Chain A
Amino acid sequence: MSISKDGAVENARNDLAKRLNIDAADIKEQSVEDSDFPDMSLGAAEDGEMSGQMITRGWRIRLEAQGKTYEYRADKNQVRAYKFKGKNYRI
């Protein structure tokens, strides 16, 4: 099923809330930008993952919580946490 921009932001917010163990309402949406990512894992491959080396259009989502900024990357197929505590996660 295709993911919308709003849907991607909501998924990202819920994921971050879970990871930080906080309420989703306490997470602020800093920015959501259209972006070209270097590959089909949106430049956020998980361990052991290979991805198509095609420039992929998606959204760069920046969320703010507990005084820190967290980046998520998304397109119509997926939402990924980018370097959350040094690691990438597909959610």
Chain B
Amino acid sequence: MNRNNIFIHLALAFVLILVAAFAGQLNRWQKQWKSQVRIIPAAEKKRPATTADIAFSEARNFGRPEVLVKFRSGVSQATIESIASRFHDRVEDRIENAPGWESIDDLDDADPAATVAKYGSLPEVEYAEPNFEIELDATDGPLVPVRPSDPQFAEQWALANSGQRGGKEGADISATLAWAKTTGSDKVVVAVLDSGVDYTHEDLAENMWVRPSNMAPYHDDELGTIDDLNGFNAIDNASDPMDENGHGTHCAGIIGAEGENDLGIAGVNWKVQIMPLKFMNAGGFGTTKDAIEAINYVIDRKKAGVNVRIISASWGSTQRSRALEDVIRKAYENDILFVAAAGNASTNNDRNPHFPSSYNVPNVISVAALDRHDQLASFSNYGPKSVAVAAPGVDILSTWLGNEYEEKSGTSMATPVVAGVAALVLAEHPRMSVDDLRKQILAASDPIVALKGKTVTGGRINAAKALED
């Protein structure tokens, strides 16, 4: 290669670099322009967002120009001007870097949708759209999914099913969308009626109910006065509701493991108050009598001013108790929702009732369990007349004794998911009655093919929908 050829090649390379750079810049300009007019869809999950993330406001037209019109190639500028003039509009601006696009100012200030339709129907026009305003707005508009910083959140398929471990993407309760609206409130108290709760667990401690200092200790005419600082233990009528089994701690974590704390998991509520009630022993079983005493305790504390609106009951048996039914009805009369496990015998509760979930009391929500594939769990009871709704209940990761986390399965695990959603709704609508709360939750379920004819709603609970006004 001679010296002249080298210079020619160098010159050619330089020109090519310039052309590439110019093309790249054109592309960037085009993207910038598109980003100015595009509204981010609500359900778009492009990236994890945090509570600090912005929500894009509802699209609305603002000022001028009012519509953006893309004319077909070959349509002359004179024709465009003529069309605009005919509609008593004005071509406001040609959009550089976006060939064919014109911004049109409607001088009549007509409805932008009508102007878009008017232009969109022309043969010369390829596409027309309103000139959307995009503004930052912290409260209104489509929701951007919110994901917490908790390190094991990715394993919580019930809250956000991305298809992890072969599951079905989207087969979850839409928690990340719900959290764009609320992550819960420490003004809402949920009673976990169970084996107690490990209230010292690192992921629960901040969300545990503690009797307010200005509230008198619990007094029962038969039991006497009990210092219920951390809740109530109905087994020995003592003050300490510490969990010796793990089941209650697991349920508590599903409802309200602290979110965004860089530890373990997130509950359906990041913030809430869990009131621990212990009536089941270290083996995970207890007596009907102790369950009744614990429910009476909840009603008493409600009357004393505690905003306890939900009892989560992940237990049951096939034996009917009129006394238990009566006390649940008493809870209803005190505006307390009672969420109960449908049972794990794979049977139809319409034919073989399971209690307390099968009591025909207006505050009871009976909950079946779903797996990560949106299928009714193989063990789950069902009932087109008696089981209200289904929620994730297989391989559910939650808090366990000793600052541990474990995966467990059962309608026990599905129940606190629903109780947790109820707490979210109350965080948004604190004055909602128990009747409306129940109705709101059931109406917000997503229809699932596998549940057709299996539950009253035939659906999976949806936290985001439950929060809709």
Q: Is B162 positioned at the interface, with any CB of A under 8 Å from its CB?
A: no
Option from A55, A77, A90 in Cβ contact (under 8 Å) with B344? A55
Q: Is A51 positioned at the interface, with any CB of B under 8 Å from its CB?
A: yes
CA distance A51 to B319 in the complex (A): 11
Enumerate chain B residues within 8 angstroms of A51, measured Cβ to Cβ. Answer: 280, 284-286, 315-317
Q: In the complex the two chains form, is A54's CB within 8 Å of B287's CB?
A: no
Q: Is B412 positioned at the interface, with any CB of A under 8 Å from its CB?
A: yes
Q: In the complex the two chains form, is A48's CB within 8 Å of B289's CB?
A: yes
| 29 contacting pairs across A/B (C-beta < 8 A) | A38-B379, A39-B410, A40-B247, A40-B280, A45-B285, A45-B318, A48-B288, A48-B319, A49-B285, A49-B286, A49-B287, A49-B317, A50-B285, A50-B286, A50-B291, A50-B317, A51-B285, A51-B317, A52-B194, A52-B245, A52-B247, A52-B285, A53-B410, A53-B415, A54-B247, A54-B408, A54-B412, A55-B344, A78-B283
CB distance from A24 to the nearest CB of B (A): 24
New contact pairs (14) apart from A52-B280, A53-B410, CB-CB < 8 Å? A38-B343, A38-B345, A38-B379, A40-B245, A47-B319, A50-B291, A50-B315, A51-B316, A52-B247, A53-B316, A54-B314, A54-B410, A54-B412, A77-B283
| Interface residues, chain A, with chain B CB atoms under 8 Å away | 38-41, 43, 45, 47-56, 77-78, 90
Enumerate chain A residues within 8 angstroms of B412, measured Cβ to Cβ. Answer: 52-54
CB distance from B433 to the nearest CB of A (A): 28
Proximity bits, B309-330, A CB within 8 Å = 1, else 0: 0000011111101000000000
Which A residue's beta carbon lies closest to that of B247?
Answer: A52
Which B residue's beta carbon lies closest to that of A40?
Answer: B284
Q: In the complex the two chains form, is B288's CB within 8 Å of A50's CB?
A: yes
Within 8 A of A (CB), among B177-201: 194-195
Which B residue's beta carbon lies closest to that of A43?
Answer: B345
Q: In the complex the two chains form, is A53's CB within 8 Å of B285's CB?
A: no
Q: In the complex the two chains form, is A53's CB within 8 Å of B314's CB?
A: yes
Which B residue's beta carbon lies closest to that of A51?
Answer: B285
Q: In the complex the two chains form, is A56's CB within 8 Å of B287's CB?
A: no
Q: Is B409 positioned at the interface, with any CB of A under 8 Å from its CB?
A: yes
Enumerate chain A residues within 8 angstroms of B319, measured Cβ to Cβ. Answer: 45, 47-49
Which A residue's beta carbon lies closest to that of B377?
Answer: A55
CA distance A51 to B343 in the complex (A): 10
Enumerate chain B residues within 8 angstroms of A40, measured Cβ to Cβ. Answer: 245, 247, 280, 283-285
Option from A47, A50, A55, A78 in Cβ contact (under 8 Å) with B408? A55
Which A residue's beta carbon lies closest to that of B394?
Answer: A55
CB distance from A69 to the nearest CB of B (A): 22
CA distance A54 to B396 in the complex (A): 11
Q: In the complex the two chains form, is B317's CB within 8 Å of A55's CB?
A: no
Q: In the complex the two chains form, is A50's CB within 8 Å of B344's CB?
A: no
Instruction: Count chain B CB atoms within 10 A of each CB in A38, A39, A45, A47 and give the residue with the most.
Output: A39
Which A residue's beta carbon lies closest to that of B244?
Answer: A77
Instruction: Count chain B CB atoms within 10 A of each CB in A38, A48, A54 and give the residue with the most.
Output: A54
Q: Is B216 positioned at the interface, with any CB of A under 8 Å from its CB?
A: no
